[in-house]
Amino acid sequence: MINVVGSYNVDLTLKVSKFPIPGETVFVDEFMTGHGGKGSNQAVSAARLRSKVKFVGAVGRDHHGDRAMEFLKEEGVDTRCVKRKDAPTGTAYIILDGNGETIIMVNRGANYLLAPNDIEGCMDGDILLTQMEIREEVVKTALSTFPGLRILNPAPAVITDQNLLSYVDILTPNEVEFKEISNSDDLSHGAEVLLKRVKKAIIVTLGEHGAVIFTKHRSVRIPAPKVDAIDTTGAGDVFNAALAVFLEKGYDIEEAVEKANIIAAASVKTYGALGPRWEEVEDLLKE
Ligand code: ADP
């Protein structure tokens, strides 16, 4: 079982030809509603790879919360530990202009009401995967009480508790997050500093260049397959989901990163933040 402790957001995307300035009204060209939030994205992407996944999070007692529960169940995710809160379901308001620029505002809503006691007794199995879109004290409770392998995807990179990293086995920042957390522009130096706290490994994702793994003994870069990328939204979520899936299957960290690169690279060839289904990538994994 993979336990994903994290956020669910409904993504409300508005396409406009140009952003309004304060006081101006513009018409919207297209309006789209989708499922998002790093926790939900990672849980669903892992379930699509046929792993048993439990999502531990919170949604509101509202229409969006109902839709979120239906979606997670349809995708085969165990929702018994999703709490319903007296707050709106988390919502991301995304405005996209004609140049591909975005303005994003997030109402954390129910995600922010998830409390440490909500997750007690919720996690079982081998792997914990969590991110920073919920309260840091909840992330800390999850990490400090989970008996199996603990992966923290530090997105967004807002870590204020200096002890948090000491409960992490594998830290998976992207390059920007890595620089923020390590306070260093140099990968090797930053990793050396972070490995004094993180237990096993730091995996820095490098977009089209794949990922680099740092452990106390060595570092190794694992390239990603070359693909024609059309939408890299959620690539990191798919990578983290696949990493958890292959570590749970017993692959070593280098093999798991190699497979996570293959799956995340496949995901950027299509629109949307969610990963491919097992049957879509089965052949690629054999090559
Ligand atoms: P994030 O989405 O968190 O910013 P990255 O951009 O580092 O994270 O991407 C995560 C992973 O997705 C990479 O390690 C790689 O496996 C895959 N990936 C992202 N962009 C590309 C790309 N253009 N070509 C191939 N793989 C990609």
Ranges of each domain in the chain: 2-286
User: Ligand 1: which residue has its CA nearest to atom 26?
Assistant: 265
**For residue 222, what pLDDT is reported?**
98
Report angle CA 110, 115, 116 to the nearest 5 degrees: 150
Counting from 1 in the atom list of ligand 1, the atom nearest the Cα of 210 is 14
**For residue 98, what pLDDT is reported?**
85
Q: Which of helix, strand or coil describes residue 245? A: helix
**For residue 149, what pLDDT is reported?**
98
Closest by Cα among 192, 169, 189, 144 to 253: 169
Ranges of residues in the chain whose predicted pLDDT is under 50: none
For ligand 1, whether the C-beta of 255 sits within 6 Å is no
In the chain, the percentage of residues whose pLDDT exceeds 90 is 94
Closest by Cα among 90, 87, 82, 89 to 56: 82
CATH class of 2-286: alpha beta
Supply the residues annotated as catalytic: 237
Q: Which of 153, 181, 228, 232 to mutate to test the pocket of ligand 1 (most atoms within 8 A of CB)?
A: 232
